[in-house]
Each structure stands twice: as C-alpha cells, then as structure tokens.
Amino acid sequence: MKIVFPIAAFLLLSAVCGCSSTVMRTRMMQHFWNNVVEGRGDEFYLAAEPVDAPPLSSTSLEELVFFAWTNRPIVVSKRLAVEDERLALKQIRADAPILSSNPFGGVDVSASIGHSESSRSANSLRKKTSGNASGALSLDLLLWDFGRNDARVEAQCEKVISAEKSLYEEALSVFSQTADAYFGLYEKLALFDVAVTNEFEYAEHLRRAETKLECGEGRKLDVLRARLDLATARESTVSASNDVAVAKAELLRALGAASFGKEKRVVDALSSLRKGFSRSTATNAEILDSAMTNSPAIAIAHAKFRASSAAVDEAIAELYPEISASLSLNWTDPLWYWRWGVSAVQSLFTGWRKTTAVDRAIVAMESAAANVDEAGKALALSVSVAVSERDTALEALLTAETSVKEAAENLSTVKEQLEIGEADRVDFSQAASAYAKALGSRVKAFYRAQRAEASIFTISGEMPVYNEGRYEAK
C-alpha cells in the first residue's frame, strides 16, 4: 500500500503539468490576438491590415475568388465555427457512459492531498496544534444513462454537419459576390468605352460643323447644337468614369482587400468582353434535381431536423435514471481505507418539467420539419427565377447583337448623307444616340447572362466551373 500514494501524487503532478501547458499555450494565443485586434505594436498592427489584391488586368476570376476565400474574415469565422462545433462534440463524448460506443468517456479520476491541524483544547487559542496529512484517489464511473449521451452526440454531429455546410454556403456566397462585382466592374468599363466612343462621334461631328461654317456651307445653329451634344456626351463620360470607380470599390469589398496591385489600363473592354462561364443548357428540372442534393440550405435544414429528432431522444432519456459506480482510496496518516459503491438516481417528481421538455422537443422537431419544407419551396423558386433570368439575358443578348449591327449601319449611312446634305444634325444626333444605346444594351445583356450563370452555380450548390476568355463582339 505504500506505493499507492506516490503513484497518486505522480498522477496529480502529471495532470497539473498538462493543465499548465494548456494554459501557457492559451495565454500565448490570447496575448497574440489581443495585440492584433487592439493594434499594440507596429508589427501586430500591420498583420491585421488588409492586403492588396492581385493586379486586375492579369488575374482571372477564378484566382480572384480564391483570393476572396482566403482573405474574407467571414470565411475565417465560418471555419472557426466548424472547429468549435467539433470541439463541442469532443466535450460531449467525454461524458459518455461505460456502456456506449465511447466507453472511456464517462471515467472521472480525481486525486487530492492535504494537511490539517487543530488545537487540542477548545478553551484556548495559544496551545499547540496537532494534525496529520491526508490524501484520496477516487474513480467515478458512469455505467449507463439510457441513451442521453448518445442522443447528445447524434445532435452535435448534425450541428457539425450544419456548420460545415454553412461554411460551404458562405464560400458560395463569397463566390457570388465576387463574380457579381467582377462582372459589374467590367460592365462599367465597357460602358465607359461606350461613352468615350459616343463622345468621339460628337466631337467629330462638331469639327465637321465648324469646318462647314468656316467655308460658308454650314449654319451657326448646327455648330451650337453640335457643341451642346458634345457637352452632354462629356457629362455621360464623366458619369461613366465615376461608375467605374464605384464598381472597383465594390470588387475590393467583395475580395476583402484594400486596393489592387500595380494596375494597367484595361483595354478592349468594349470590343472584347470578359467571359467567366460557358452558356449552360440545363433545364429547370435538371438544376432543381441537382440543387436538392447539393444545396447547402437544404442540407442545413435536414441536419437541423435530424438534430431536433435526436433532442427528442435525449428528452425521453431524461425520464430514466442514471446508473453509476465509484471506487476510492483514502489515506489519513497512518491509516489506509477504500470503498466502492453503485448508485441509481431517479427523479420521482419534478413538476412535470421532464414530460413538458419532451412535448417541447416534439414541437421543435415539427418546426424543423416545416423548415425543411420551406427550404425546398424557396429553393425551387430560386432555381426558377435563376433559369428565367439566364434565358431572358441570352435572348436580350441576341437581340442586342442585331440592334448594334443595325445601329452601326444606320450611323454610317447618316454620316455619308450628312456629307452630301441629304441628312441634318437631328438625324445624326438620333443615329449616334441609337448606336451608343445599342452598344450599352449589348454590354448589359452579356454581363447579365454571366451573372445569371454564376447565380445558377450558387443556387444549385455546385462549385463553379470556369471557362474564362474573351467574348468577341460581333
């Protein structure tokens, strides 16, 4: 028996050392993140600042999406939420009874050591005290809990799944935001080129009008009208330039970056549009069938329902007792003694709290089932809207292509007739305006279709399949 106490002391010392290393590691992390968030010290402050995005002109949409996934704080938070749910599962498993799939979870071993003394007489506080040392080593075992822990583990497993699907859902959301901002920026760049082209046409028209007036073949009214048209076109160019700046800021926000790297002027934004995805041909039914399997929203709703079903099992298990055993070894110098026991604890009356908890668990399960149905209907509606948006955008693009050809031909004809006097300034203004409008409509229809393709990936829950390149305007 003499060796038992040293063993107990060794186990206690080992536990204390293990806790100390955990506390030390935790304090280091706490100190580091306090410095990062509060900005204490230049090196920590710089670590917390957002980084620059890669140069836009030489970076693909896929690379920008990956950059956003690694730099957006919300994605990091979702990753940490998954880790937290997994740690919570580990905690629950630690309370598992012996008769379970994790038989060493419900074992609690504790050790204590102490020394106490007391005075020999209760009448005087001046007399010497005497006492002895004592120690204890105890083992508590949870034998059976009628499925409480199993139900908690099952519910927590579903929470882990829900957190993982939430992370995937957030990744798709970041992809959607990045794609929308990316296409939005290139749309504004193309519309800026449209405004510049329109301004150039009116500048040329003003030059010809002034030349004719100097030669005595034109009218001053035509020159004044041409100057007004040019001023209006320049206002449109300035507005388009501002739209580009706003769109660039929106893309930076979607990326979680402060600014772009060393940038070059993006050329051919109008004649060569940026394509990110191929035109999809899947029907509404095909996309919905894929979405019902892959959509994170549907998976999360089902996981929450299964967790609520496990909560019903736990509430029912709470109606039954817990069976446990204990074994302890005690030492009070110089005596040793040990004891063991088995106990079953059952609540006889709790004011119907436990039965009411079962009823509440059933209501929560019914609510979760309704949420599954609601998620399915919402998904069906979203798919229908996305497919309709895709088809409408493609039809608008085909129509816009035809309009651009006709408007370009009309403007060319008016220019020729204007030279020989068969057309006037009104005809030119109308033709130039129609051509600029047709160019803008084609740009908007193309990027609307690209956004619709990105939306289909997001709604269906599938990872995006990129097919980047240039769409050469016809």
pTM of the model: 0.79
| pLDDT value of residue 361 | 92
pLDDT digits (tens, 9 = 90+) for 113-140: 777 777 666 565 556 766 677 778 787 7
| pLDDT value of residue 227 | 83
Q: What is the mean pLDDT of each run of 10 residues along the chain (474 residues)?
A: 49 55 66 59 50 78 91 90 92 81 68 73 62 77 81 91 94 94 92 88 78 72 79 89 90 85 61 85 92 93 94 88 79 76 72 85 94 95 94 92 89 80 76 88 93 93 89 67
Q: Which residue has the tokens 């003499």?
A: 2
| pLDDT value of residue 121 | 61
Q: Are strands 335-345 and 272-275 parallel, antiparallel or unpaired?
A: unpaired
Q: Which two tokens stand for residue 257?
A: 């970056």
Domain boundaries, the chain: 1-32, 61-110+132-472
Q: Domain 61-110+132-472: give its CATH architecture.
A: Up-down Bundle (1.20)
Q: Which two tokens stand for residue 411?
A: 């403007």
| pLDDT value of residue 422 | 74
